[in-house]
Amino acid sequence: MKTYQNFTHQDRAAQAAKAKQEKLEQLRSKPPIDPAAQEARLLASQRREAADAEKRASRKAAEEAAEQAARDEKAAQEEAEAARLAAIKPEPTEEERKLARDARYAARKNRR
């Protein structure tokens, strides 16, 4: 069984420096990136971005077309409602009925 060791600040700092040095050595030992492979990755990334941009543009165009269709449909419904209301003749008022009766009476008088 391992016992607890009381590390000092200098011990912990040395361990951290050693771990940092080991990581730096790992990075330095990596082979350099092949320029052809790097260019191929860059081209693939650009193609993906272009495809995504095209998808976004087509989706936006479809949404705008749907919104325009909804606006057109609403306008057509409003026009139809306005036409329906215009076609309904309102009930004549008392004064209008009286004027119509007087006009009929005057026409009858003029025929005699």
CA 67 to chain centre: 11
Whether 72 is in a domain gets the answer yes
Whether 81 is in a domain gets the answer yes
Amino acid at 15: Q
How many folded domains does the chain comprise? 1
Residues 6+ apart with CB under 8 A from 92: 100
Q: What is the pTM of this model?
A: 0.46
Helix or strand (DSSP H, E) at 22 = helix 9-29
Whether 101 is in a domain gets the answer yes
- pLDDT tens digits, one per residue of 5-41: 778 889 899 999 999 999 999 988 888 889 999 999 9
The Cα 91–Cα 102 span in angstroms is: 18
Q: What per-residue confidence (pLDDT) applies to 2?
A: 65
Domain extent for 88: 58-112
